[in-house]
Amino acid sequence: MPSIAKGAALQTVITTFETTPGTCQDLLDALTSAYDDFISHQRGFIAAGLHVNDAQTRVANYSQWEKREDFQAMLRSDEMRKRNRVINELCKSFEPVMYEVAESYN
């Protein structure tokens, strides 16, 4: 399970996807397959979570990586580029953004 802690030696990536109720489950299936079959086996992968809003119009993906370069290498791979083309067809837009934890509360 991801650990959310200030000063943690890892890279956090939050990706938001804008979708529709009609394609939300297809998008979740594509993301789940990507994690099960590919992403979770990549160097530096720590953990991830997928979140869906009640209206099924947004999916948020929270992932953690040992290093920024590990995440970037995964994104640049032929396999992920192929998967991202499919994912792009299932949503209006998506954007991965890297973050550092500024504060955390338990």
pLDDT per residue over 83-105, tens digit each?
Answer: 999 999 999 999 899 998 888 88
Cβ–Cβ < 8 Å for 32, 89 = no
Residue with tokens 């338990």: 106
User: SS3 for 25?
Assistant: helix
User: What is the percent of the chain with per-residue pLDDT over 70, rounded to a whole number?
Assistant: 97
Q: What is the pairing mode between strands 45-52 and 11-18?
A: unpaired
Identity at 47, one-letter amino acid code: A
pTM of the model: 0.91
Q: Which two tokens mark 84?
A: 């991202």
pLDDT digits over 34-53, tens only? 999 999 999 999 999 999 99
In the beta sheet, which residues pair with residue 32? Answer: none
Residue with tokens 């370069």: 69
